[in-house]
């Protein structure tokens, strides 16, 4: 059965800290891995990773994929209170099926 596992499930840090969120997967016919941020209602897209070892960056956020070890990490440097959210990892596999992990709830203390 395909699965996506995120860790930790919950994380509390102080503003300015750097955090690393993890996502491991077992998915048939892997196509892509995606990261989303969910603050209130609808998740918003952060990154899509298809190739191993190529870092994607957007401001203070970055992500990388390891297709050999079947995991990805999402880094956030110099965290701000606005980074508080649930971060979701999703994987697209066979027949374009996209499944999500349970998410990491990140809380940034001022």
Partner 1 sequence: DGGITQSPKYLFRKEGQNVTLSCEQNLNHDAMYWYRQDPGQGLRLIYYSQIVNDFQKGDIAEGYSVSREKKESFPLTVTSAQKNPTAFYLCASSTTGTGYFNYEQYFGPGTRLTVT
31 binds partner 1 (CB under 8 A): yes
27 binds partner 1 (CB under 8 A): no
Exposure class string for 19-48: b at 16+ Cβ within 10 A, else e: bebebbbebeebebbbbbbeeeeebeebbe
One symbol per residue from 45 to 84: x for binding partner 1 (CB under 8 A), - otherwise; what is it?
A: x--x-x----------------------------------
How many CB atoms neighbour CB 54 within 10 A?
10
Pick the binder of partner 1 from 42, 58, 69, 110 (CB under 8 A): 42
Between residues 17 and 64, which has the closer beta carbon with respect to partner 1?
64
Stretch that binds partner 1, among 17-25, 32-40, 57-65, 71-79 (CB under 8 A): 32-40
- Residues in the interface with partner 1 (CB under 8 A) total 25
Q: Facing residues of 89 across strands?
A: 35
Q: What is the C-alpha separation between 8 and 10, in angstroms, rounded?
A: 5
Question: Is 81 strand, coil or helix?
Answer: helix
Contact 85, 32 (CB under 8 A): no
The contact set with partner 1 (CB under 8 A) reads 6, 9, 31-32, 34, 36, 41-45, 48, 50, 88, 90, 92, 95-103
């Amino acid at each position: 059965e395909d699965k996506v596992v995120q860790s930790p499930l919950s994380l509390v840090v102080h503003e300015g800290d750097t955090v690393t969120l993890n996502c491991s997967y077992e998915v048939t016919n892997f196509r892509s891995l995606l990261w989303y941020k969910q603050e209130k209602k609808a998740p918003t897209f952060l990154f899509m990773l298809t190739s191993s070892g190529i870092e994607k960056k957007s401001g203070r956020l970055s992500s990388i994929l390891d297709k050999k070890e079947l995991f990805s990490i999402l880094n956030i440097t110099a965290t701000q209170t606005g980074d508080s959210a649930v971060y979701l990892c999703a994987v697209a596999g066979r027949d374009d099926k996209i499944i999500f992990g349970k998410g990491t709830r990140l809380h940034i203390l001022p």
